[in-house]
Amino acid sequence: MAGRFCGVLALLAVFLSGLDASRPAINQELSNIFNELWTLDVNRMTPATDYTISVQGRANYVTQGSHVVTDRASQPLFSNVNEIKLQNITTFTRLMKLLDNYERSTGVAERVTTEEQTEMNLFLDAVLNTEVMKRAHRYLVSKGQSNSNLRIFKNQLRLIWFNLYHRKRNSALDSCGFEHVFVGETKSGSEIIGFHNWVQFYLQEKSTHLDYKGYKARDHDLPDHDDHVLNLQFSWHGLVKPVGSAFIGTSPEFEMALFTIVFLMNTERSTTVLVNVDQCQMELVVIRHGRSLGTAYPKLLSSNSRHVGHH
């Protein structure tokens, strides 16, 4: 099971996507390093062992800002998660400590207390201590994008992920890349922005602030309980995210490593790279906010491939 991430017919999908000239070509170099990181990700949770998801129904089309949505999933997305394991993995426990440090609404100033500063430092230390981030660091050094000095690299990660900036014009310092991607934010009281992390999804769902509405996919595409990327629809504190996407089960260091590499290897304001990670084809989207991260998320393209011969 371990090797099956999205289906063995991925090669067919690669061939078919080659016929679609509008899509960028597979970035082979990044695919290679990301697969190395995938293999090194010992903290990743295993589907059906460490957690169980039930994808249920396909979500309906909803316009951004609409609060009326048909629920195509009567059960939660996560039917269970091994919390004992989560509590025993340093990067996960330190991630969870950070999730309550932010103001949900954009336009509201973030006040960073000394305690929160310490939590952020401890989280970065834990991430830097993993084989995943060590390998990502070596790769970035080899590309001339990062300094081999660990302290300088840590400051670079802090600037990318935790530097506060104005997401709303003329407002307070109200946002940062980490908050946007891992925690989620609301804008003008009418829409959810960001929110691409499965641990936050699980915790918010468990505390009933969040309601999963169903998966988003192409017509013949049926996501599976062991997919590691999902496109989904949900409501959070009464607001609806028509289409969101997240890695499922992956460690925070894996996600940070991937997006940090895409961020540093490109200079455009908005970057989309097409990669194959463990037999699954996805786009990684990174949008910058100056020298920091505006947003970053995966977009599953072909889990499709595994059903090609099944209908």
Distance CA(285)–CA(297), nearest Å, equals 5
3-state secondary structure of 258: helix
Q: What is the DSSP letter of 240?
A: E
Sequence-distant (6+) residues with CB within 8 A of 42 are 131
Q: Which pLDDT band, with edges at 50, 70 and 90, does 23 fall under?
A: low
Task: Tell me, yes or no, whether 16 lies in a domain.
Answer: no
pLDDT tens digits for 172-217? Answer: 899 999 999 999 999 988 899 999 999 999 999 999 999 999 999 8
Query: What is the arithmetic mean of pLDDT over 30-56?
Result: 97
Per the structure, the complete domain to which residue 95 belongs is given by 53-265
pLDDT-wise least confident of 30-34, 122-126, 141-145, 172-176 = 172-176
Has 180 been annotated as catalytic? yes
pLDDT-wise least confident of 163-172, 204-213, 227-236 = 163-172
Task: Tell me, yes or no, whether 4 lies in a domain.
Answer: no
Per-residue tokens: 220: 């013949």
Distance CA(199)–CA(249), nearest Å, equals 8
Task: Tell me, yes or no, whether 302 lies in a domain.
Answer: no
* Catalytic pick among 216, 228, 241, 289: 241
pLDDT tens digits for 125-139? Answer: 999 999 999 999 999
In DSSP notation, 190-201 reads: TEEE---BHHHH
Given a contact cutoff of 8 angstroms between Cβ atoms, the answer to whether 241 and 234 are in contact is: yes
Could you tell me the end-to-end alpha-carbon distance of the chain, in angstroms, rounded to an integer? 23
Per-residue model confidence (pLDDT) at position 4: 52
Per-residue tokens: 200: 């936050």
Query: What is the arithmetic mean of pLDDT over 26-36?
Result: 97
Distance CA(122)–CA(55), nearest Å, equals 34
Distance CA(54)–CA(60), nearest Å, equals 17
Has 168 been annotated as catalytic? no
Among 252, 239, 297, 249, CA closest to 270? 297
Task: Tell me, yes or no, whether 32 lies in a domain.
Answer: no
Distance CA(77)–CA(91), nearest Å, equals 23
3-state secondary structure of 71: coil
User: Does the structure show a pLDDT above 80 at 7?
Assistant: no
How many structural domains is the chain composed of?
A: 1
User: Does the structure show a pLDDT above 90 at 24?
Assistant: no
Task: Tell me, yes or no, whether 172 lies in a domain.
Answer: yes
Task: Tell me, yes or no, whether 93 lies in a domain.
Answer: yes
Has 307 been annotated as catalytic? no
Task: Tell me, yes or no, whether 121 lies in a domain.
Answer: yes
Query: What is the arithmetic mean of pLDDT over 212-227?
Result: 83
Task: Tell me, yes or no, whether 308 lies in a domain.
Answer: no
Distance CA(311)–CA(309), nearest Å, equals 6
Mean pLDDT taken over the chain: 89
* Catalytic pick among 137, 196, 228, 289: 196
Query: What is the arithmetic mean of pLDDT over 56-72?
Result: 90
pTM (2 d.p.) = 0.90
The percent of residues in the chain predicted with pLDDT above 70, rounded, is 89
Distance CA(215)–CA(230), nearest Å, equals 7
Per-residue model confidence (pLDDT) at position 2: 46
Given a contact cutoff of 8 angstroms between Cβ atoms, the answer to whether 233 and 241 are in contact is: yes
